[in-house]
Amino acid sequence: MLTGGSLTVRNEQLLLAQYPGLLVARGAGEPTVVDVIAHFHGDLDLADVRGIGYNGAARGGGMTIRRAPRRTATVANRAQTDILPELDLLDRTFRHRGVAQLETSRGCTNYCSFCPRGHKGIWSGAAPEGLPWMLAAMSEVFERHPHLSRTLYLVDEEFIGRGDDAAQRALVISRTMHDAGFRWESSCRIDQVVDPQRDRAWHLERGYMWRELVATGLRRMLFGVESGVTSILERFNKETTGEQNALAIRTLSALGVPTRFTYITFDHLMTLEELRATHDFQARTDLLLRPLHHLSVEEIVDGVTDPRFVSEHSLVIGAGKLKLILPLRKGNALGLEANEFISLDEAGRTFDRLMEARSTHDWRPALRMTSWTPETEGHMILVEVTGKASAWPVYEAPDLLEPLGNVLTEPVTEIWKRYRFKRNHFAKYLGQSIRTAANAGTPASDGHARA
Ligand code: B12
Ligand code: SF4
């Protein structure tokens, strides 16, 4: 039996110990599959199959007989000729609400300590010339599903890659997808935006690149920021710094690039100081800037290091109200233990602490806390398009719905008379469960923390 993929590679020794006849594909599967078929036909020795781990013949004598694990050389990414997928399953994938994935490169430019990307090897990009026919073939399948968004998910670990022509290559790929009528998403490293080793000209080139990628269909790019604390980044071997990450987040947001950032808040080797520092980074309000479409790339690249520019354009959320809602033991939460919920007293104390912090730090948003209890649990009348009215939620009734009548065939007052939950209806909708800044001094009662 032949297995493959990152998980089996990570567990190669374990699998070979348990399943002595197994073959584990340790890299890209395409050359391995070709060779294994040749081997099954008797045309190739196992030792000549590219990119496998397997157990050799039993050796030793007496109590020490064992089969030594062996490995054959994998094919380097740069020597791969074929990384484009077969499309035989695409139609079925769409029918099962799946998405279209494609790789335009393999491997990564870095070796982060936590990343299992090893079996994908060193970064290598496929030549963009191979794309148009593949996109045309994918288009044919998309055309059979006209309601689907024409989006391609490029599952590259590092979309931009390395080399002097990296930005140009990325742009050719993006333009090619755009010309074929597709939008796309992918992932890459933050050092493709800001790199302290590079000069201003490089940063300007990248700024232009990001703007054009968005203009030619980039829907979202994922960046593994992972931390804003340099000592943590060093431990992760991210080869980035906290300051670099901050500048890159500012640049991307100001350029108007739709992003997704991943961040590791906690790791088991961190010190208390690092935990504090990482929280401080997350609380910074000078990282995200407003999209500054009216400014030039030069103004943005120069501006992100200028504190005045940053404070002028920071994206501070203009919230008018902070509303906290405590969970109630209902619906799917009915099976949870009572101690999974905080008590009204605890809720009251938390609210008081927030009120104190609000005045200490001069927070402007109003504070509200809804502490629901069985007494103030919200019930409602659900009216369907057919006019059928039901009380909700009624736990003992099918679908939690208790029929009350039909608003199209009788007066609503008749339906209201049959409604068993009038008290709770009022309790919720007339705000008896809501604590506000104004009533925070009132002691908690059992129906509501402080109404
Ligand atoms: C897209 C993706 C997802 C999508 C999958 C969508 C889908 N329907 O396919 C979603 C978002 C759902 C997802 C979820 C998760 N993912 Co994911 N995902 C990826 C990603 C970006 C691409 C996978 C892919 O399709 N690659 C393209 C194919 C062609 O490459 P490949 O799978 O590596 O296969 C090649 C070889 O490995 C080999 N091969 C593979 N199988 C076989 C079998 C045989 C017989 C042979 C011979 C060869 C072979 O040949 C293939 C062609 O060369 C990879 C990173 C990456 N770029 O590969 C992470 C990745 C696989 N995901 C990862 C993780 C951690 C997860 C989650 C656990 C995240 C989470 N915490 O929830 C979940 C797990 C979901 C699950 N149930 O398995 C890790 C796996 C880490 C590991 N192995 O230890 C990866 C490697 C990312 C990373 N660097 O951390 N993921
Ligand atoms: S940058 Fe991403 S893909 Fe590359 S080694 Fe680090 S975590 Fe893995």
Say what the pLDDT of residue 39 is: 96
pLDDT at 440 over 60: no
Residues above pLDDT 70, as percent of the chain:
89
* Residue 450's pLDDT band (cuts 50, 70, 90): very low
Q: State which ligand 1 atom lies nearest to the alpha carbon of 117.
A: 89
Q: Over the range 66-80, which residues count as b (16 or more CB within 10 Å of their CB) and which as e?
A: ebeeeebebbebeeb
Ligand 1 pocket test, candidate residues 6, 40, 75, 222, most atoms within 8 A of CB: 6
Cβ of 115 below 6 Å from ligand 2: yes
For residue 210, the one-letter residue type is W
The answer to whether the CB of 3 falls within 8 A of the CB of 22 is yes
For residue 283, the one-letter residue type is A
Within a 10 A sphere around the Cβ of 196, how many other Cβ atoms? 10
Beta strands in 283-423 (DSSP E): 321-326, 366-371, 380-383, 388-392, 402-406
In DSSP notation, 203-238 reads HHHHHHHHHHHHHTTEEEEEEEEE-S-HHHHHHTT-
Phi and psi torsions of 304, nearest 5°:
-65, -15
Within a 10 A sphere around the Cβ of 278, how many other Cβ atoms? 22
Domains defined along the chain, listed by start: 2-75 (no CATH), 78-313 (3.80.30), 380-420 (no CATH)
Closest-CA residue, ligand 1 atom 68, reads 7
* Mean pLDDT lowest among 3-7, 51-55, 152-156, 371-375: 371-375
Cβ of 25 below 6 Å from ligand 1: yes
* Residue 437's pLDDT band (cuts 50, 70, 90): low
pLDDT at 447 over 80: no
Cβ of 189 below 6 Å from ligand 2: yes
Q: Which of 347, 373, 246 is nearest to 304 (CA)?
A: 246
Tokens for 147, please give them: 């309601």
Q: State which ligand 2 atom lies nearest to the alpha carbon of 236.
A: 6
Q: State which ligand 2 atom lies nearest to the alpha carbon of 189.
A: 1
- Regarding beta strands 23-25 and 52-59, do their DSSP bridges make them parallel or antiparallel, or are they unpaired? antiparallel
* Residue 274's pLDDT band (cuts 50, 70, 90): very high
Tokens for 251, please give them: 């640049």
- For 359, residues 6+ apart whose C-beta sits below 8 A from its C-beta are none
* Residue 261's pLDDT band (cuts 50, 70, 90): very high
Ligand 2 pocket test, candidate residues 120, 157, 262, most atoms within 8 A of CB: 157
Cα 413 to Cα 400: distance, rounded to the nearest angstrom: 22
Say what the pLDDT of residue 346 is: 85
Tokens for 392, please give them: 């909700």
Q: Which of 375, 352, 360, 376 is nearest to 439 (CA)?
A: 352
Q: What is the whole-number distance in angstroms between the Cα of residue 266 and the centre of ligand 1? A: 23
Q: What is the whole-number distance in angstroms between the Cα of residue 120 and the centre of ligand 1? A: 11
Tokens for 305, please give them: 């290091």
Model confidence over 29-58: pLDDT tens digits? 999 999 999 999 999 999 999 999 999 876
Within a 10 A sphere around the Cβ of 63, how many other Cβ atoms? 6
Q: What is the whole-number distance in angstroms between the Cα of residue 258 and the centre of ligand 1? A: 23
Q: What is the whole-number distance in angstroms between the Cα of residue 106 and the centre of ligand 1? A: 12
Q: To the nearest whole number, what is the mean pLDDT of the chain?
A: 89
Cα 185 to Cα 306: distance, rounded to the nearest angstrom: 31
Tokens for 297, please give them: 């790339």
The answer to whether the CB of 161 falls within 8 A of the CB of 209 is no
Cα 179 to Cα 195: distance, rounded to the nearest angstrom: 31
- Regarding beta strands 105-106 and 124-125, do their DSSP bridges make them parallel or antiparallel, or are they unpaired? antiparallel
pLDDT at 418 over 90: yes
pLDDT at 223 over 70: yes
Say what the pLDDT of residue 446 is: 37
Q: What is the whole-number distance in angstroms between the Cα of residue 163 and the centre of ligand 1? A: 26
Cα 300 to Cα 247: distance, rounded to the nearest angstrom: 11
Q: State which ligand 2 atom lies nearest to the alpha carbon of 114.
A: 7
Model confidence over 280-302: pLDDT tens digits? 999 998 999 999 999 999 999 99
